[in-house]
Amino acid sequence: MPSTTADPRTDGLEGVVMGSTAITMVDGERGRLAYRGFDVSELAGTVPYESVMHLLIFGDPPSADPSPEIDRALRHGRGWPAFVRGVLDALPPDQTPLDALRTVWSALSPSVARYPPTLDEAYPLVALGPTVVAAAAHRRRRTSPPPPRDDLGHVANFLYALTGTEPEPRRVEALETYFVLLADHGMNPSTLALRTVVSARGDLASAFVAAISALKGPLHGGAPREVSAFLDRVRGPERAEAVVREALARGERLPGFGHRIYRVEDPRAVLFHDLARRVAHGSERLEIAEAVERAAVSALSAAHPGRRVYTNVDFYGAIVLETAGLEPDLFTPAFALARTAGWTAHVLEQAGSNRLIHPDLRYDGPIDRGRWPRPPIRPSDRSGATRAR
Ligand code: ACO
């Protein structure tokens, strides 16, 4: 296949501003992240996910914690519609939880796009997400998911659905902090995909399907499981430098490092590192991660003097997810479930002041190649050829 030439000054839409938002402020120069004006450091570990979802969607903090409106809607939507169970049963037994969630969201999409999207259309997708991910995980293990519990919050119920046992408070704390810190991040590949669907007056479920599809790749939401696999490869802190060096020599991207927007440390990475120091204190896994961070930051700074490359959200985020008891296959689904709060807010914001998102490409293929190299084929010849086959 012929390839085109990349222009690093413009390609990948780096630095392109395509609209405005009042949801999340991402300041990549100063390393600040704030939801509706509240710094994430103020919210992480102290405010329940339901309240953060409320803040992102409605713009202000709820009247109580957890947000009564969001809490009610998410508890209410946890149960299984019968046809969703049928969709899951029809999937191959080893379907990943991420793909299962995308397929169920797709099945929930209306056949004709409904527009404008409403909050009531988002609630069932968000509420059902943990149930679907947990059911897909159980299917692969050949175990049965427990019925959802409506006495638990959104995040604790997800852990309960995965294990069938009362979730330990330290695991709930780790996963709830993860959900809060991943709830939104302004513009990024999955939110761009989501807003693009809405901009064409597509429906909310289709926008969620586009977003989760964009999230799957290892340069975006697929990164945390790659971090886990990389740390497995390192095996001991003393091997960190050699493994990092070999990976870079092979031209690999180190998962969990670098970010398109942050030129200083990603504030979520700093908060996750602090949390990991608390919840994974003294573990060899944390020692390995810290040794990898030292080796990687030094090697990447030497290789790219003009571009500081630090840990991103996924590096210590992966340690936090491991501490919460999740298997690596559940890392990207957890990211998607957390991000449903932000995706909902972005769908509604895009529809609220919509203009079709339709960027352009610089054409650098051949121009004016003249006539087709063979004589034209008449339609009658083509149908004859089809019959002969
Ligand atoms: N490992 C090795 N080299 C890297 C890394 C990395 N993690 N990150 C950046 N670089 C190098 C690039 O190869 C590039 O080198 P070059 O100029 O010689 O080609 C240079 O640093 C500049 O990086 P860009 O590719 O221009 O940065 P970009 O903004 O396009 O990429 C990205 C950002 C995709 C996140 C990149 O840093 C990366 O691949 N990281 C690893 C995957 C990852 O952790 N993804 C999660 C991101 S956060 C999120 O989505 C939630």
Nearest to 155, CA basis, from 143, 169, 138: 169
Atom 13 in ligand 1: residue holding the nearest Cα: 253
Q: Which regions of the chain does DSSP assign to beta strands (E)? A: 24-27, 32-35, 38-39
pLDDT digits (tens, 9 = 90+) for 142-174: 999 998 888 999 999 999 999 999 999 999 999
Question: Best of 309, 311, 320 to mutate for ligand 1, by most ligand atoms within 8 A of CB?
Answer: 309
Spell out the residues 6+ positions from residue 40 whose beta carbon is closer than 8 angstroms to its own: 33, 34, 180, 181, 267, 268, 271
Q: Cβ neighbours of residue 170 under 8 Å, at least 6 residues apart?
A: 279, 323
Per DSSP, 113 falls in state: -
Which of 33, 244, 253, 311 to mutate to test ligand 1, by most ligand atoms within 8 A of the CB atom?
253
Q: Is 161 helix (H, G, I), strand (E, B) or coil?
A: helix
**304 labelled catalytic:** no
Q: What is the pLDDT of residue 126?
A: 98
The predicted structure's pLDDT at residue 253: 96
Residues with CB under 6 A from ligand 1: 12, 188, 219-220, 223, 253-260, 300, 304, 307, 309, 312-314
User: How large a percentage of the chain has pLDDT more than 70?
Assistant: 98
Task: Please tell me the distance from the alpha carbon of residue 265 to that of residue 69, in angstroms, as a whole number.
Answer: 35
The mean pLDDT of the chain is 94
Q: In the chain, what is the greatest distance between 2 CA atoms, to the nearest angstrom?
A: 76
Give the distance (Å) from ligand 1 centre to CA of residue 259: 6
Among candidate residues 41, 11, 14, 39, the one with its CA nearest the CA of residue 26: 39
Other CB atoms within 10 A of residue 218 CB: 16
Of 4-8, 171-175, 377-381, least confident by mean pLDDT is 4-8
Position 30, amino acid: R
Q: Spot the catalytic one: 71, 184, 203, 314.
A: 314
Query: pTM higher than 0.85 for the full model?
Result: yes
29-39 in b/e form (b: 16+ CB < 10 A) is eebebbbbeee
Please tell me the distance from the alpha carbon of residue 60 to that of residue 290, in angstroms, as a whole number.
37
Average pLDDT over residues 258-275: 95
Q: Which atom of ligand 1 is nearest to the CA of 189?
A: 50
How far is residue 9's CA from residue 16's CA, in Å, rounded to a whole number? Answer: 11
Residues 318 and 231: beta-carbon distance below 8 Å: yes
Q: ∠ CA(102), CA(103), CA(108), 5° rounding?
A: 95
C-alpha span between 358 and 42 (Å, rounded): 37
